[in-house]
Amino acid sequence: MATYEEIEQTREDTAVSPTPRRRNGRELIIEGLILASGVSVIIIITLIFLFLLKEGLPAFTSQPISTFWGRRWYPIEETYGLLPLLAGSLLVTVGAVVIAVPLGLTTAVYLGEFAPDWLREILKPLIEVLAGIPSIVLGFLGWVALAPLIQNMGAPTGLTAFTGSLILAYMALPTIISITEDALYAVPKEYRDGSLAIGATHWQTVWRVVLPAARSGIVIAIMLGVGRAIGETMAVMLVTGNAANIPELGLGMMFQPIRTMTATIAAEMGEVAQGSTHYSVLFAIGIVLFIITFLVNSLATRLIGGRPKQRGAQL
Amino acid sequence: MVPKLSIQNVSFDYGDGATALRNISLDIMPHELFVLFGPSRSGKSTLLRLLNRLSDLLPVGQMHGRILFDGQDIFARGTDVFDLRRRIGMVFATPTPLPGSIYENLTYGLKMAGIKDRRVLDERVARSLQQAALWEEVKDRLADSAFALSGGQKQRLCLARSLALEPEIVLLDNPTSGLDPISTSIVEESLYELKQQYTIVMVPHSMQQAARVADRAAFMLDGEIVEVGAQKDLFVYPQDKRTEDYVSGRFG
Ligand SMILES: Nc1ncnc2c1ncn2[C@@H]1O[C@H](COP(=O)(O)OP(=O)(O)OP(=O)(O)O)[C@@H](O)[C@H]1O
Ligand SMILES: [Mg+2]
């Protein structure tokens, strides 16, 4: 957003003061502390990544890379095809995004723009409470309540990719809604006036002016919401049936049991011998997850259109 | 002559007990440039926002009296307020381009009004930009973001945006605030052209500007109109002591 760029620009302009201020010891200590915590975060992340590489890389040397491209995940037979796990993660996540994003955005627009005050006063705190429910509780609810429901609707089993998507979407919704609403609220009143003053209706103003102006905030809302859901392991493990098979393409795809990458690590890490091939393959899955997260993050930064720094200005 | 706008005994309060406008009566004639001036918080913007019913957006607020536009009560039940705002355009003190290109900014209102013919849109864009004295500067970069314009250009873009709808009245609330003297004089010059086609009600940036551009003017103080008159009467031979004090710079 150009307006935010401008704000950011003036901030930078004022931040650079040509005359160095007299610095006392206290200030030096504070600066040192801030620097130390900043650097330590970077060091920790680097160490985590190095550890992942150290434990995971042997998986790529002990057997041909092509094994990982296999369609079967069967560790007992030393068959480590990652495709079913990738497909499982992809299905659940995409399903969750497809459910949560439209639902979250429309709810936020309704709350922020159209809901009467009294209703907003009731709904906002409720949504914040939803955000605080531990994910395992949601997973449990999905298992005892949602899964039977889905089975009754005619699926062979209630523990499916769809069930997982629903639970994940539910976890992402509070974040998406409240941050989107904040972003809508932050749109300057002058934009609305400018649009209404040339004869646009309230809805036209929201659709054509307010939403585009809040775009970067909305992308962040989606990122944070989906981000909260994407790494979720246990709840998903509970409700997706935990079967490492590639779902058959087609309409019924969402209604088959699957297994995600995170669930695989969680379920199998406890029983492998340290240093075995199986062990390093699980870490290799970790590397894959790390890379995917990195790609998704850079894509989002690109979508927001600018340096990550500007996101700070927006929020 | 029949007034274009007739404001009859209008009072308004924002629901906080204080009266923002008290018993205002004014007639605004076709093709004149009418200036509303007075000290800060005297109610100029409040009055302007009533004239195209932007005041509808306030959660509270109470109005008494009538405002007639070509003889029609604009607050009458059944008035199409969106059509009204197309016929009575408004430009604000802070220039607010909408997200999007220059071209999109200008065609936004037209598209909302259901005009889709590309030729009509192009023609309106060119004409409104010319009227706002911006055409020469932006004709080769209509697809650029409107945020890339300078402050003065943005302000003229907002003016062009309401002119594109070919309104009958243009309300200008301090359209040169924050503009440099050169941009200010460009806008002021274009006002002379504009009033051939439109009726203009303007809140000026300063008393000097009021005296420069007004055909007729009204001096407002604490939500009331102290004095109305032709430019010369008001700025050279004011009748009321308070107007004289303000015009001669003794207060305000
Ligand atoms: N949205 C609002 N809610 C409540 N009170 C308001 C609102 N807008 C204006 N007022 C009050 O109404 C009075 C008139 O304000 P108004 O903005 O019309 O003055 P103005 O003449 O335009 O001043 P300025 O020259 O500073 O723009 C002021 O006392 C102001 O505090
Ligand atoms: Mg004002």
Give the lowest-confidence range in A115-124, A195-204, A299-308.
A299-308
Span A170-196, average pLDDT: 92
Contact A185, B93 (CB under 8 A): no
Contact B169, B199 (CB under 8 A): yes
Q: For residue B242, give the H/E element and its range.
A: helix B241-247
- Supply the DSSP string of A258-282, one letter for each residue: B--HHHHHHHHGGGSPTTSHHHHHH
Ligand nearest to the CA of B220: 1
- Asked if residue A243 is part of any domain, the answer here is yes
CA of B153, closest CA in chain A: separation in Å?
Answer: 15
Give the whole-number percent of chain A exceeding pLDDT 90.
34
- Asked if residue B166 is part of any domain, the answer here is yes
Q: Does B147 sit within 8 Å of A3, measured CB to CB?
A: yes
pLDDT in tens, B70-103: 999 999 999 999 999 999 999 998 888 888 899 9
- Distances in whole angstroms, Cα of residue A190 to Cα of each of A99, A111, A210: 33, 20, 11
B14 lines ligand 1 (CB under 6 A): yes
**ipTM confidence:** 0.85
- Positive or negative, the CA dihedral B221, B223, B227, B229 is positive
Distance of CA A27 to the CA centre of its chain: 37
pLDDT at A10 over 70: no
Which of B44, B54, B226 best tests ligand 1's pocket when mutated (most atoms within 8 Å of CB)? B44
A3: nearest CA in chain B? B147
- Rounded to whole angstroms, the Cα distance separating A181 from A166 reads 22
Spatial neighbors of B112 by CB under 8 A, at least 6 apart, are A198, A199, A200, A201, A204, A208, B82
Give the lowest-confidence range in A9-18, B38-47, B110-119.
A9-18
- Asked if residue B252 is part of any domain, the answer here is no
Q: What is the pLDDT of residue A70?
A: 81
- Rounded to whole angstroms, the Cα distance separating B35 from B76 reads 26
- Distances in whole angstroms, Cα of residue A4 to Cα of each of A187, A280, A295: 11, 46, 25
Q: For chain B, what is the domain count?
A: 1
- Asked if residue B179 is part of any domain, the answer here is yes
Q: Ligand 2 center to residue B55 CA distance, Å?
A: 13
Phi, psi of B240 (to 5 degrees): -85, 140
Chain A residues touching residue B83 (CB < 8 angstroms): 199
Range list of H helices, A142-276 = 147-152, 161-185, 189-196, 202-205, 211-213, 215-230, 234-239, 261-268
pLDDT in tens, A97-148: 999 999 999 999 999 999 998 999 999 999 989 888 888 898 899 999 888 8
Q: Does A195 sit within 8 Å of B100, measured CB to CB?
A: no
Q: Does B165 sit within 8 Å of A196, measured CB to CB?
A: no
* Of the partner residues A2, A194, A204, the one whose CB lies closest to the CB of residue B96: A194
- Rounded to whole angstroms, the Cα distance separating B10 from B108 reads 32
Give the lowest-confidence range in A152-156, A158-162, A255-259, B5-9.
A152-156
CA of B242, closest CA in chain A: separation in Å?
Answer: 33
For residue B75, what is the domain's CATH number? 3.40.50.300
Give me the residues paired with residue B227 across strands.
B219
Q: Ligand 1 center to residue B43 CA distance, Å?
A: 6
Q: Does A2 sit within 8 Å of B86, measured CB to CB?
A: no
- Asked if residue A111 is part of any domain, the answer here is yes
Give me the residues paired with residue B51 across strands.
none
- Distances in whole angstroms, Cα of residue B185 to Cα of each of A140, B33, B179, B195, B232: 70, 16, 9, 16, 21
Q: For chain A, what is the domain count?
A: 1
Q: Which of A16-25, A151-160, A226-235, B39-48 has the highest mean pLDDT?
A: B39-48
Domain that holds residue A239: 92-305
- Answer whether A213 touches B (CB < 8 Å): yes
For residue A142, what is the domain's CATH number? 1.10.3720.10
Q: DSSP label at A251?
A: G
